[in-house]
Structure 1
Amino acid sequence: MTGTTTTPRRTRLAPTAFLLGAVCALTACGSSAGPQEYGTGQRSIKAEVGDKFTLSFPMQPTQGEWWYRVDPEPDEKIVRSEGDREDYEGSGGAGGGDGTQFFDFEAIGAGTTEIRILHCPVGTCVGKGATASPKPDADSTNSDQADKARYYTFEVTVRS
Protein backbone atom coordinates (compact mmCIF):
# COMPACT_ATOMS: atom_id res chain seq x y z
CA MET A 1 0.00 0.00 0.00
CA THR A 2 1.32 3.43 -0.86
CA GLY A 3 1.10 6.43 1.39
CA THR A 4 -2.25 7.68 0.06
CA THR A 5 -4.78 9.03 2.50
CA THR A 6 -8.49 9.17 2.05
CA THR A 7 -10.88 11.62 3.53
CA PRO A 8 -13.00 9.91 6.20
CA ARG A 9 -16.63 9.60 5.19
CA ARG A 10 -17.87 11.30 8.32
CA THR A 11 -16.29 14.60 7.36
CA ARG A 12 -18.19 14.61 4.08
CA LEU A 13 -21.46 13.73 5.85
CA ALA A 14 -21.10 16.24 8.66
CA PRO A 15 -22.37 19.20 6.59
CA THR A 16 -25.30 17.08 5.37
CA ALA A 17 -26.18 16.01 8.91
CA PHE A 18 -25.95 19.61 10.08
CA LEU A 19 -28.19 20.78 7.23
CA LEU A 20 -30.75 18.04 7.94
CA GLY A 21 -30.80 19.03 11.62
CA ALA A 22 -31.36 22.66 10.70
CA VAL A 23 -34.19 21.79 8.31
CA CYS A 24 -35.86 19.63 10.99
CA ALA A 25 -35.57 22.44 13.53
CA LEU A 26 -37.28 24.84 11.12
CA THR A 27 -40.01 22.47 9.91
CA ALA A 28 -40.75 20.46 13.08
CA CYS A 29 -39.62 17.07 11.71
CA GLY A 30 -41.42 14.22 13.36
CA SER A 31 -44.42 16.29 14.39
CA SER A 32 -47.82 16.07 12.81
CA ALA A 33 -48.10 18.53 9.95
CA GLY A 34 -51.48 19.81 8.91
CA PRO A 35 -54.80 20.04 10.67
CA GLN A 36 -55.99 17.62 13.35
CA GLU A 37 -58.51 15.06 12.00
CA TYR A 38 -61.65 13.81 13.76
CA GLY A 39 -64.18 11.11 12.82
CA THR A 40 -67.39 9.73 14.29
CA GLY A 41 -65.51 8.18 17.24
CA GLN A 42 -64.35 11.52 18.66
CA ARG A 43 -67.04 14.18 18.64
CA SER A 44 -65.65 16.54 21.26
CA ILE A 45 -63.12 18.90 19.67
CA LYS A 46 -60.87 21.28 21.56
CA ALA A 47 -58.96 23.91 19.60
CA GLU A 48 -57.25 27.26 20.00
CA VAL A 49 -57.98 30.35 17.93
CA GLY A 50 -56.16 29.94 14.62
CA ASP A 51 -56.11 26.12 14.71
CA LYS A 52 -57.37 24.25 11.67
CA PHE A 53 -59.12 20.90 11.95
CA THR A 54 -60.83 18.41 9.66
CA LEU A 55 -63.77 16.05 10.00
CA SER A 56 -63.05 12.98 7.86
CA PHE A 57 -65.34 10.08 6.96
CA PRO A 58 -64.99 6.95 4.82
CA MET A 59 -67.39 6.87 1.90
CA GLN A 60 -68.47 4.68 -0.98
CA PRO A 61 -69.88 7.05 -3.61
CA THR A 62 -70.13 4.19 -6.11
CA GLN A 63 -72.64 2.69 -3.66
CA GLY A 64 -74.52 5.98 -3.23
CA GLU A 65 -73.05 6.80 0.19
CA TRP A 66 -72.45 10.48 1.11
CA TRP A 67 -71.89 12.76 4.12
CA TYR A 68 -73.38 16.26 4.34
CA ARG A 69 -72.83 19.22 6.66
CA VAL A 70 -76.38 20.22 7.60
CA ASP A 71 -78.26 22.86 9.56
CA PRO A 72 -77.94 24.28 12.06
CA GLU A 73 -74.64 25.81 10.91
CA PRO A 74 -71.88 26.32 13.51
CA ASP A 75 -71.55 29.80 15.04
CA GLU A 76 -69.54 31.74 12.44
CA LYS A 77 -67.88 33.82 15.18
CA ILE A 78 -66.28 30.63 16.59
CA VAL A 79 -65.69 28.31 13.62
CA ARG A 80 -65.37 29.04 9.91
CA SER A 81 -65.85 26.41 7.19
CA GLU A 82 -62.83 26.15 4.90
CA GLY A 83 -64.70 23.93 2.43
CA ASP A 84 -65.46 20.31 1.70
CA ARG A 85 -63.44 17.87 -0.41
CA GLU A 86 -63.22 14.22 -1.39
CA ASP A 87 -60.26 11.89 -1.91
CA TYR A 88 -61.00 8.86 -4.09
CA GLU A 89 -59.13 5.57 -4.18
CA GLY A 90 -58.92 3.47 -7.31
CA SER A 91 -59.19 4.62 -10.89
CA GLY A 92 -61.67 6.68 -12.76
CA GLY A 93 -61.51 10.00 -10.87
CA ALA A 94 -64.50 11.36 -8.98
CA GLY A 95 -66.82 8.57 -8.02
CA GLY A 96 -64.42 6.00 -9.47
CA GLY A 97 -63.87 4.20 -6.19
CA ASP A 98 -64.18 4.34 -2.43
CA GLY A 99 -62.60 7.21 -0.62
CA THR A 100 -62.76 9.75 2.16
CA GLN A 101 -64.90 12.83 2.50
CA PHE A 102 -63.43 15.81 4.38
CA PHE A 103 -64.93 18.93 5.97
CA ASP A 104 -62.27 21.54 6.80
CA PHE A 105 -62.63 24.22 9.49
CA GLU A 106 -60.68 26.98 11.21
CA ALA A 107 -61.20 28.05 14.82
CA ILE A 108 -61.58 31.86 14.71
CA GLY A 109 -63.02 32.92 18.08
CA ALA A 110 -63.36 31.69 21.66
CA GLY A 111 -66.53 29.84 22.58
CA THR A 112 -68.43 26.60 22.02
CA THR A 113 -70.48 25.63 18.98
CA GLU A 114 -71.71 22.51 17.20
CA ILE A 115 -71.14 21.09 13.74
CA ARG A 116 -73.82 18.71 12.47
CA ILE A 117 -73.05 16.04 9.85
CA LEU A 118 -75.57 13.72 8.18
CA HIS A 119 -74.44 10.28 6.98
CA CYS A 120 -76.51 8.94 4.08
CA PRO A 121 -76.02 5.31 3.05
CA VAL A 122 -77.45 4.46 -0.38
CA GLY A 123 -81.07 5.52 -0.85
CA THR A 124 -81.59 6.81 2.70
CA CYS A 125 -81.70 10.57 2.09
CA VAL A 126 -83.44 13.12 -0.09
CA GLY A 127 -81.81 16.34 -1.23
CA LYS A 128 -78.11 17.23 -1.18
CA GLY A 129 -75.84 19.49 0.81
CA ALA A 130 -77.24 21.46 3.74
CA THR A 131 -80.82 20.58 2.69
CA ALA A 132 -80.29 16.79 2.76
CA SER A 133 -82.56 14.91 5.15
CA PRO A 134 -83.35 11.26 5.91
CA LYS A 135 -86.24 9.72 4.00
CA PRO A 136 -89.22 8.90 6.20
CA ASP A 137 -89.35 5.15 6.71
CA ALA A 138 -92.35 4.69 9.00
CA ASP A 139 -93.29 1.36 7.42
CA SER A 140 -89.73 -0.01 7.25
CA THR A 141 -89.10 -3.31 8.99
CA ASN A 142 -85.33 -3.09 8.51
CA SER A 143 -83.73 -3.08 11.97
CA ASP A 144 -80.14 -2.84 10.68
CA GLN A 145 -79.01 0.62 11.88
CA ALA A 146 -76.02 0.56 9.47
CA ASP A 147 -78.46 0.97 6.58
CA LYS A 148 -80.14 4.05 8.05
CA ALA A 149 -79.22 7.69 7.78
CA ARG A 150 -77.97 9.23 10.99
CA TYR A 151 -76.79 12.56 12.34
CA TYR A 152 -73.45 13.13 14.07
CA THR A 153 -73.02 16.24 16.20
CA PHE A 154 -69.52 17.52 16.96
CA GLU A 155 -69.09 19.91 19.89
CA VAL A 156 -66.25 22.35 19.25
CA THR A 157 -64.72 24.35 22.11
CA VAL A 158 -62.28 27.07 21.06
CA ARG A 159 -59.95 28.76 23.54
CA SER A 160 -58.20 32.06 22.88
Structure 2
Amino acid sequence: MNVTGRAPLIGAASLACLLALSGCGESGGDSPAEYGFKDRAVTVGQGERFSLTVPASPSLGRHWYLTEPRPDATVLKYRGKRADYGDGGKNVDGGPGGTQSFRFTALAKGRATVRLLYCPVNTCQGPDDTAPSTPPDGMPSPSTTASPSPYPTATGTPDTHAAFYVFTITVR
Protein backbone atom coordinates (compact mmCIF):
# COMPACT_ATOMS: atom_id res chain seq x y z
CA MET A 1 0.00 0.00 0.00
CA ASN A 2 1.19 3.51 -0.77
CA VAL A 3 1.07 5.42 2.54
CA THR A 4 2.22 8.72 1.02
CA GLY A 5 -0.80 8.74 -1.34
CA ARG A 6 -3.18 8.77 1.64
CA ALA A 7 -1.58 11.76 3.39
CA PRO A 8 -3.20 14.41 1.13
CA LEU A 9 -6.61 12.76 1.63
CA ILE A 10 -6.22 12.73 5.42
CA GLY A 11 -5.05 16.36 5.36
CA ALA A 12 -8.00 17.43 3.20
CA ALA A 13 -10.46 15.56 5.43
CA SER A 14 -8.95 17.15 8.54
CA LEU A 15 -9.20 20.61 6.99
CA ALA A 16 -12.86 20.03 6.03
CA CYS A 17 -13.69 18.95 9.61
CA LEU A 18 -11.90 21.97 11.05
CA LEU A 19 -13.78 24.36 8.76
CA ALA A 20 -17.10 22.72 9.59
CA LEU A 21 -16.47 22.97 13.33
CA SER A 22 -15.32 26.59 13.23
CA GLY A 23 -18.89 27.74 12.61
CA CYS A 24 -20.22 26.13 15.78
CA GLY A 25 -20.76 27.71 19.18
CA GLU A 26 -22.15 31.00 20.45
CA SER A 27 -19.70 33.31 18.74
CA GLY A 28 -20.17 35.51 15.72
CA GLY A 29 -23.56 36.37 14.26
CA ASP A 30 -25.32 33.56 16.12
CA SER A 31 -24.49 34.96 19.56
CA PRO A 32 -27.46 35.26 21.88
CA ALA A 33 -28.61 38.84 22.47
CA GLU A 34 -27.59 40.45 25.76
CA TYR A 35 -29.70 42.97 27.64
CA GLY A 36 -28.65 44.98 30.69
CA PHE A 37 -30.31 46.41 33.78
CA LYS A 38 -31.47 49.44 31.73
CA ASP A 39 -33.46 47.15 29.38
CA ARG A 40 -36.56 46.62 31.53
CA ALA A 41 -38.84 45.86 28.57
CA VAL A 42 -37.37 43.33 26.14
CA THR A 43 -38.96 41.88 23.01
CA VAL A 44 -37.56 38.67 21.52
CA GLY A 45 -38.62 36.18 18.89
CA GLN A 46 -39.90 32.71 19.58
CA GLY A 47 -36.96 30.30 19.83
CA GLU A 48 -34.48 33.13 20.46
CA ARG A 49 -31.77 32.71 23.08
CA PHE A 50 -30.84 35.77 25.14
CA SER A 51 -29.39 36.81 28.46
CA LEU A 52 -29.90 39.51 31.06
CA THR A 53 -26.36 40.65 31.88
CA VAL A 54 -25.71 42.75 34.97
CA PRO A 55 -22.58 44.19 36.68
CA ALA A 56 -21.26 41.91 39.43
CA SER A 57 -18.22 41.39 41.61
CA PRO A 58 -18.16 38.92 44.52
CA SER A 59 -14.84 40.38 45.67
CA LEU A 60 -16.54 43.76 46.06
CA GLY A 61 -19.71 42.19 47.48
CA ARG A 62 -22.00 42.66 44.44
CA HIS A 63 -24.23 39.62 43.77
CA TRP A 64 -27.40 39.03 41.73
CA TYR A 65 -30.03 36.30 42.14
CA LEU A 66 -33.02 35.10 40.12
CA THR A 67 -35.94 35.25 42.57
CA GLU A 68 -39.48 34.05 43.02
CA PRO A 69 -41.83 34.18 41.34
CA ARG A 70 -39.86 32.63 38.51
CA PRO A 71 -40.67 33.54 34.88
CA ASP A 72 -43.57 31.69 33.28
CA ALA A 73 -42.00 28.38 32.22
CA THR A 74 -44.35 28.07 29.25
CA VAL A 75 -42.96 31.33 27.82
CA LEU A 76 -39.29 31.31 28.93
CA LYS A 77 -36.86 28.53 29.71
CA TYR A 78 -34.18 29.49 32.24
CA ARG A 79 -30.86 28.07 31.04
CA GLY A 80 -28.74 29.02 34.05
CA LYS A 81 -26.33 31.69 35.14
CA ARG A 82 -22.88 32.50 33.77
CA ALA A 83 -20.30 34.69 35.49
CA ASP A 84 -17.46 36.66 33.96
CA TYR A 85 -15.64 38.58 36.64
CA GLY A 86 -13.14 40.22 34.28
CA ASP A 87 -10.16 39.19 36.34
CA GLY A 88 -9.16 36.02 34.52
CA GLY A 89 -11.27 33.88 36.87
CA LYS A 90 -9.11 34.78 39.87
CA ASN A 91 -11.82 36.83 41.65
CA VAL A 92 -9.10 39.03 43.12
CA ASP A 93 -9.96 41.03 46.25
CA GLY A 94 -10.73 44.57 45.21
CA GLY A 95 -10.85 43.54 41.54
CA PRO A 96 -12.80 45.70 39.11
CA GLY A 97 -15.57 43.15 38.78
CA GLY A 98 -17.37 41.86 35.80
CA THR A 99 -20.81 40.51 34.99
CA GLN A 100 -23.37 37.84 35.75
CA SER A 101 -25.60 36.68 32.90
CA PHE A 102 -28.95 34.99 33.41
CA ARG A 103 -29.60 32.98 30.23
CA PHE A 104 -33.01 32.22 28.73
CA THR A 105 -34.68 30.74 25.65
CA ALA A 106 -37.98 32.19 24.42
CA LEU A 107 -40.29 29.18 24.07
CA ALA A 108 -43.72 30.51 23.12
CA LYS A 109 -45.52 33.74 22.34
CA GLY A 110 -46.53 35.62 25.44
CA ARG A 111 -45.19 37.74 28.24
CA ALA A 112 -43.06 36.79 31.26
CA THR A 113 -41.59 38.69 34.18
CA VAL A 114 -38.02 38.12 35.37
CA ARG A 115 -37.09 39.38 38.85
CA LEU A 116 -33.43 39.74 39.75
CA LEU A 117 -32.42 40.67 43.29
CA TYR A 118 -29.31 42.86 43.50
CA CYS A 119 -27.39 42.38 46.75
CA PRO A 120 -24.49 44.75 47.34
CA VAL A 121 -22.16 44.05 50.27
CA ASN A 122 -23.92 43.40 53.62
CA THR A 123 -27.46 44.03 52.36
CA CYS A 124 -28.97 40.60 51.67
CA GLN A 125 -27.99 36.96 51.54
CA GLY A 126 -29.62 35.55 48.43
CA PRO A 127 -32.82 34.84 46.51
CA ASP A 128 -34.74 33.56 49.55
CA ASP A 129 -33.77 36.47 51.81
CA THR A 130 -36.82 38.09 53.43
CA ALA A 131 -35.18 40.80 55.53
CA PRO A 132 -32.09 42.96 55.34
CA SER A 133 -29.04 41.67 57.19
CA THR A 134 -27.42 43.55 60.06
CA PRO A 135 -25.72 46.62 58.65
CA PRO A 136 -22.02 47.29 59.18
CA ASP A 137 -21.03 49.56 62.09
CA GLY A 138 -21.98 53.18 61.54
CA MET A 139 -24.83 52.35 59.14
CA PRO A 140 -28.47 52.97 60.09
CA SER A 141 -30.43 49.89 61.17
CA PRO A 142 -33.13 48.63 58.82
CA SER A 143 -36.66 48.10 60.02
CA THR A 144 -36.98 44.85 61.95
CA THR A 145 -40.39 44.22 60.46
CA ALA A 146 -40.06 41.29 58.08
CA SER A 147 -42.14 41.36 54.95
CA PRO A 148 -42.34 39.22 51.82
CA SER A 149 -40.62 41.97 49.82
CA PRO A 150 -38.49 44.26 52.00
CA TYR A 151 -36.51 45.56 49.05
CA PRO A 152 -37.78 48.19 46.64
CA THR A 153 -38.11 47.77 42.90
CA ALA A 154 -35.24 49.70 41.37
CA THR A 155 -35.75 52.25 38.66
CA GLY A 156 -32.15 53.42 38.27
CA THR A 157 -28.66 51.98 38.30
CA PRO A 158 -27.36 49.54 40.94
CA ASP A 159 -26.02 51.38 43.99
CA THR A 160 -25.35 50.56 47.66
CA HIS A 161 -28.89 49.36 48.41
CA ALA A 162 -30.47 45.98 47.73
CA ALA A 163 -33.26 46.13 45.18
CA PHE A 164 -35.31 44.11 42.75
CA TYR A 165 -34.76 44.69 39.04
CA VAL A 166 -37.88 43.62 37.16
CA PHE A 167 -37.74 42.80 33.46
CA THR A 168 -40.78 42.27 31.24
CA ILE A 169 -39.99 39.89 28.39
CA THR A 170 -42.38 39.80 25.43
CA VAL A 171 -42.04 36.88 23.03
CA ARG A 172 -43.47 37.45 19.54
Larger proportion of helix: 1
User: 5 Å matches for 1:1-160?
Assistant: 32-91=29-88, 93-96=89-92, 97=95, 98-126=97-125, 128=126, 130-133=127-130, 135=132, 137-138=142-143, 146-159=159-172
Name the Cα RMSD after superposition: 2.4
What secondary structure is seen at the aligned counterpart in 2 of 1:37?
strand
Map of 2:150 onto structure 1: none
Would you identify which runs of 4 or more consecutive aligned residues in structure 1 move more than 2 Å? Answer: 93-97
Distance 1:64 1:85 in 2: 17
User: How has the CA–CA distance of structure 1 residues 35 and 134 changed in structure 2, closer, same or farther, with 3 Å as cutoff?
Assistant: farther
Larger radius of gyration: 1
Displacement of 1:59 in angstroms is: 1.2
What is the TM-score normalised by the length of structure 1? 0.69
Displacement of 1:36 in angstroms is: 1.0
Larger proportion of strand: 1
Distance 2:62 2:114 in 1: 20
Percent of aligned pairs sharing the same letter: 34
The number of residue pairs the alignment matches comes to 124
* Structure 2 stretches lacking a partner, 5+ long: 1-22, 134-141, 145-157
What secondary structure is seen at the aligned counterpart in 1 of 2:30?
coil
What is the TM-score normalised by the length of structure 2? 0.65
